[in-house]
Structure 1
Amino acid sequence: MKQKKFLFACGGTGGHVFPAVAIAESLKKAGIENISFAGRKDSMESRLVKPYFEFDEISAVPLHRGSFMQNLGLPYKLLKAVQSAKVVLKKRKPDVIVATGGYVSLPVVIAAGRAKIPVYIQEQNAVAGVANKIGSHYAKKIFVTSKDAQKFFPSTETMVFGNPVRELPKIENLPRPKEYRDGTKTLLIVGGSQGARGINVKMEEALSQIAERKDISVVWQVGAKNFDEICARIQIPENVSVKAFLDNIYAYMGHADLIVSRAGASTLAEILAFGKPSILFPFPFATANHQEFNARVVEKAGAALVELDNDPNDLWNKVQSLLSNAEKLNQMASAAKSIGMPDAADQIAKVILEAEC
């Protein structure tokens, strides 16, 4: 029997690309060989995908929220983007489309839907993005990460599977970072490759208190653009290791007792897949405030505490309270594991394969 061809559409941010790659890798494990991606030229998606999968370029245009004048030309530009997607469909002749959101995916979903090609959509956030909400009208199934996200889509077509992540190494196979000193509780503070200003400010304010806790090892990833300035300006306590970027972040995550982080969908999925308690600082300028909604879902499940950037600084009090309460940490870890679904990519791939192959 002829093997089905799969085309993935994603882009704009790593939060849209990583879940797509995770599902694609699960399809490959299941024996699917003909997988390609569509996205913009010289984009994040092209850099992340090209080393592993065939990639076709399409045009795509973002919706400028709250800007009527900037959106005047949107219908024409979207039509042009759909035409470029049709060219890719004609070239690849896919049997199935998998879209993980972002404005980059919408032209492909529209073109495929009109051509009666089966479309599957995956939504990472508790608040659905515009592209996925529009694209859902063409979708055969929509995969969401929580029941909170189901309300944005037809319930009969929606399945809750958690956010797909690439297969994570087992913690016992990860080397313990040397910055985590033996016999100490371990804290990882990570704000993404650019750092997180709100977290960094609160950490600075707490450094004198942190210095007193020799029983806690802290790894603080401040972001490459902030590293030199922070190291030159601040006296760093001995129990704090400041990093610009973490190459082997899974080792730091896997061996952390507690993680402080932003609440982007992909990072959250990794924290939950490792079953780690967390303190979440949602990025305050995320589209539709989706990071706070993501964080509140995890908080409601008992796996995290949430603090906003403009809240009074209670970060270190939260950290000390949790690290001194083994029972609470264990409860939060269990809650994280219960909603983490590290096999989400495999489960999604299985549903699609059962329906299409």
Structure 2
Amino acid sequence: MTRVLLAGGGTGGHLYPGLAVAAAMRRMAPEVQVYFAATTRPIDHQVLADHEWLNVVTQSVAPFSSQPMGAARFVKHLVRSYRHIGRLIREQRIEAVLGLGGFGSSAAMAAARRLGVRRAILNPDAVPGKANQLFGRWSDEVFAQWEVTRGYFRRPVRVVGCPIRPEIKALAARGRRSLYEDGLRAFGLEKGLLTVVVWGGSTGARSINRSVAKVLTEAGGLPENVQIVHMTGQADYPEMREFYRGNVRQRHSVVVYIERPELALAVADVVVGRSGAVALAEIAALGVPSILMPYPYHKDQHQRANALVLAEAGGAILIDDNGQAGQATAEALGAAMRSVLTDDRRREAMSEAMTGIAKLDADEEVARWMLGGNDSAG
């Protein structure tokens, strides 16, 4: 019986690709035992709890810090997790380890290296984070989403795309409009109108929320034949709900969180949002034209690098967000939204560019390697 370990967590961007790989392994080898070394963050439990076939182990993780106290805390937690995961690898005879990025993968990758276990990293972002840059040197394989990532590693990189949720992959195979009617019902929308889906990640994005509000009231508005699905996040939901009720004539659905993104993407003619790697992989797989406002505060600007890949391919428009939701940002966003919504040919071209850059079999390629096959780098 094959036993494998996936390591990482703390964000959906680490968890969902890991789950997609785990599900692919289970389809290929139903007897496989999949262990998942997660973090103690609440999202890990929320995402993994429904997958009873996973063997979830919790590890002690602290973020890296250059400050003495923070660095000491990071090392303390890393050593504790390193010992814990090392015992797991030995006792369960783990045959392959996949690091999902972030510091939640560090202990497992270090332990796998010491114990001589096959190991790989998954790097969905255009710019690799610190953990992937470090452990990429000592991995047997590096899996990346985009060609641009090759330049960050002094070793061969296999560009396979980003593993996406099975329901998104299935919808891409059927055609995203196959769930159009279901999406209309889910959000209370009207058939035949153009639909804008606004989402800023799992917790929302305040500057995007406020920029969209300004577009609708101060920065030119949107055509009358447009309806809106707006995922606000918990913090901004009361304010945005009241804003829409009092100021927006168009049909709209304001929600805290979109539980089934496939339904939102099935009805979307344009997406406005951040540019996390997993979200972009799913949007590209379904060919949805996008207007991207990358999160502006990451030191490495990896979200901007992600957005630039799709913008240069012709599938997205990139608008830099200064975090202030100022008038200039709102005017740029409004102009971009109107330019896409009023031009059918442009939307079609952007959709084709999106599907052209998408890679739909990343889950299977990584799963095959984890199970012991297809070992050559590319």
TM-score > 0.5 by shorter chain:
yes
Matches within 5 A, 1:1-357: 3-32=1-30, 33-41=32-40, 43-52=42-51, 53-64=54-65, 66-156=66-156, 158-167=157-166, 168=168, 169-170=170-171, 171-174=176-179, 175-178=182-185, 179-208=188-217, 213-233=223-243, 235-241=246-252, 242-310=254-322, 312-313=329-330, 314-353=332-371, 354-355=373-374
Q: Deviations over 1:191-240 (max 9, x none)?
A: 12322111111111121367662211121222222121233355232314
CA–CA separation in structure 2 for the residues paired with 1:172 and 1:237: 26
Q: Deviations over 1:44-101 (max 9, x none)?
A: 324322431111122222202x535521454444333211221221332201111111
* Structure 1 pair 229–76 and aligned structure 2 pair: CA distance change class (3 A): closer
Structure 2 residues not aligned, in runs of 5+: 323-327
Bigger shift: 48-57 or 67-76? 67-76
* Percent of aligned positions that are identical: 25
Structure 1 residues not aligned, in runs of 5+: none
Shift of 1:287: 4.9
* Structure 1 pair 344–201 and aligned structure 2 pair: CA distance change class (3 A): same
CA–CA separation in structure 1 for the residues paired with 2:202 and 2:109: 30
CA–CA separation in structure 2 for the residues paired with 1:48 and 1:287: 27
Q: Deviations over 1:247-278 (max 9, x none)?
A: 33211112211111111111111111111110
CA–CA separation in structure 2 for the residues paired with 1:210 and 1:246: 27
Amino acid paired to 2:107? P
* Structure 1 pair 213–104 and aligned structure 2 pair: CA distance change class (3 A): same
Amino acid paired to 1:45? D
3-state DSSP class of the match of 2:37? Answer: strand
Amino acid paired to 1:51? D
Q: Indicate conservation of the 8 Å contact 1:211/1:239, yes or no.
A: no
3-state DSSP class of the match of 1:138? Answer: coil
Bigger shift: 117-126 or 305-314? 305-314
Amino acid paired to 1:188? V
CA–CA separation in structure 2 for the residues paired with 1:136 and 1:289: 20
3-state DSSP class of the match of 1:89? Answer: helix
* Structure 1 pair 192–98 and aligned structure 2 pair: CA distance change class (3 A): same
Q: Indicate conservation of the 8 Å contact 1:211/1:238, yes or no.
A: no
Q: Indicate conservation of the 8 Å contact 1:59/1:84, yes or no.
A: no
Bigger shift: 175-184 or 300-309? 175-184
Bigger shift: 143-152 or 307-316? 307-316
CA–CA separation in structure 2 for the residues paired with 1:40 and 1:294: 25
Amino acid paired to 1:55? V
Shift of 1:289: 1.7
* Structure 1 pair 73–183 and aligned structure 2 pair: CA distance change class (3 A): closer
Bigger shift: 283-292 or 136-145? 283-292
3-state DSSP class of the match of 1:104? Answer: helix
Amino acid paired to 2:193? T
Q: Indicate conservation of the 8 Å contact 2:10/2:44, yes or no.
A: yes
* Structure 1 pair 240–190 and aligned structure 2 pair: CA distance change class (3 A): farther
Shift of 1:120: 1.3
CA–CA separation in structure 2 for the residues paired with 1:323 and 1:295: 20
* Structure 1 pair 210–244 and aligned structure 2 pair: CA distance change class (3 A): farther
Amino acid paired to 1:119? R
Shift of 1:343: 2.1
Q: Indicate conservation of the 8 Å contact 2:160/2:365, yes or no.
A: yes
TM normalised by structure 1 equals: 0.92
Bigger shift: 205-214 or 240-249? 205-214
Task: Show structure 1 runs of 4+ deviating over 4 A.
Answer: 209-212
Q: Indicate conservation of the 8 Å contact 1:97/1:109, yes or no.
A: yes
Amino acid paired to 1:4? T
Bigger shift: 276-285 or 342-351? 342-351
TM normalised by structure 2 equals: 0.87
Bigger shift: 158-167 or 209-218? 209-218
CA–CA separation in structure 2 for the residues paired with 1:199 and 1:57: 34
CA–CA separation in structure 1 for the residues paired with 2:263 and 2:192: 17
CA–CA separation in structure 2 for the residues paired with 1:247 and 1:41: 22
Amino acid paired to 1:81? S
